[in-house]
Chain A
Amino acid sequence: MNNPSINHVGIRGVASCVPHKEIDNLTATNFSAEESAKVISSTGVHKRRVVNKQCASDLCFFAAEQLLTELVCDPHSIDILIFVSQTPDYVLPSTACILQHRLGLSHKTMAFDINLGCSGYTYGLIVLAQMLSTGVFKKGLLLAGDTISKLVSEQDRSVAFLFGDAGSATLLEYDQDAAPLFFDYGTDGSEYDKLIVEAGAFRVKADEKTQRRISCEAGFRAKTELFMNGADIFSFTLREVPKTIMQALALANWRASDIDYFVFHQANEFMLKHLIKKRQLDSAKALMSLSTFGNTSVASIPLTLCHHAVSFKSDVASKILLSGFGVGFSWATIACVLHKTLILPVIILDASIDKGFL
């Protein structure tokens, strides 16, 4: 393969939306104050927001609606819609089809889902940008969101404090003058079972037995709920992420010091601090949102951009490095320039609309 780079695609805007309900990890969990404080100091997650009934698609919908309005973009001009999530509305159809209709996009829209989590935003950007780069399609919406709270056992200490829900929308456009986007990527499925919801799809169907919570190392969890082996994920991250960061920088011919902002998947603070230290990155340039929103899975990178919206000016070019890594295991890193990109501040849903789309 030649140098992985994509030409002629501009990132026009990013919006992110979180639910109204906020949880304070110190007081609102099933665990003792001492236990809570210990986990919080390691993960760095103080607060997070979770849905009541809403789905990831609802959060993405509100983000997309506002983004299209702010950019004065006619929904009928959208050629592609990609929804990236591990918490879709239904087993089938693809949630992207439902969102095409809800957003009022034309019937001449190519809409499909991608099932990825931590690495999903950067994968989605690469796929969409590749499709737009030929000029056949002009505009594409990447909707990335997850409601991992719906998969978590609140009695399982290893995951109960970590995850928040969020949805995002990113508009990409064919643009002959756009700076190239460089990317590195990879997959290692040998450890697919280190971060998994084992039951509920088709290899292991959900039934009375798999839905029953049983005792596990970190509390109680059902097979239909999220299992996470944090130590194995940490080993994987240390093995692959420093390499993929350096590779993306090398492709772009940039040094780490050239980057204005690093935006990593917000896995947990301990891991990110270690990575930043190991690669000797300037921690002031590594944008974070963990403390306020938790690990929001596929939405964590766009949510972090929006959380720091004041740092970005549409008329000033910023060199950024985005890196997503985790569940799969799967990883992808992008080095690109944000220019004429509208980054909206995080949208917090009003309590009155905190219900599902029916």
Chain B
Amino acid sequence: MDYKKILLKLDEVAELSPGTLNGTESIKDWDSIAIISIIALADEDFNKSLSAKAIAQASTVNDIVTLLTA
């Protein structure tokens, strides 16, 4: 999945209009439902098991993209 597509997925996770995120945003204010949605996205689209701890250590949207694609 290309970078743009992942950002669109994360817009959905954070309940933002498509095209809002550019990657540099902080995720520190994202709530637990958004964190759970990231875990679901990793499992479903990337076949990857992400821990809540790994997500908690990320600070920006780009860090999440790295976790998903690494």
Contacts and interface: CB of A to CB of B under 8 A. Distances in A.
Interface stretch (B19-27, B29-37, B60-68): B29-37
Interface in A205-249: 217-218, 229-232, 234-235, 238-239
B10 to A, nearest CB: 16
A192 interface: no
Contact of B43 (A38, A217, A229, A238): A238
Interface string A275-289: 001100000000000
Contact of B32 (A230, A235, A238, A239): A230
A234 B49 CA distance: 10
A235 B52 CA distance: 7
Contacts of B39: 231, 234-235, 238
Nearest to B53: A232
A278 B43 contact: yes
Contacts of B33: 38-39, 42
B36 A234 contact: yes
Contact of A270 (B36, B49, B51, B52): B36
A355 interface: no
A231 B36 CA distance: 5
Nearest to B50: A235
B44 A278 contact: yes
A231 B49 contact: no
Contact of A274 (B43, B51, B52): B43
Interface in B1-45: 32-33, 35-36, 39-40, 43-44
Given A38-B33, A42-B33, A158-B32, A231 B52 contact: yes
Interface string A16-52: 0000000000000000000000110010000000000
Q: State the main secondary structure of chain A at its contact with B.
A: helix
B49 A239 contact: yes
Interface of B is mostly: helix
B55 interface: yes
Interface residues of A, number: 18
B55 A231 contact: yes
Contacts of A218: 32
Contacts of A278: 43-44
Contacts of A235: 39, 49-52
Given A274-B43, A277-B44, A238 B36 contact: no
Contact of A229 (B44, B49, B52): B52
Nearest to A217: B32
A42 B37 CA distance: 10
A329 B53 CA distance: 17
A38 B51 CA distance: 23
A134 B40 CA distance: 44
B48 to A, nearest CB: 10
B32 A232 contact: no
Contacts of B49: 235, 238-239
Contacts of A229: 52
Most buried by A among B36, B40, B53: B36
A38 B31 CA distance: 11
A223 to B, nearest CB: 20
Contacts of B52: 229, 231-232, 234-235
Listed from nearest, the 6 A-B pairs whose CB atoms lie closest are: A231-B52, A231-B35, A232-B52, A238-B43, A234-B36, A42-B33
Interface of B: 32-33, 35-36, 39-40, 43-44, 49-53, 55
16 contacts: A42-B36, A158-B32, A218-B32, A230-B32, A230-B36, A231-B35, A231-B52, A231-B55, A232-B52, A235-B39, A235-B51, A238-B39, A238-B40, A270-B36, A274-B43, A274-B44
Given A231-B39, A234-B52, A274-B40, 15 more contacts: A38-B33, A42-B33, A158-B32, A217-B32, A231-B35, A231-B52, A231-B55, A235-B49, A235-B51, A235-B52, A238-B39, A238-B40, A270-B36, A270-B40, A278-B43
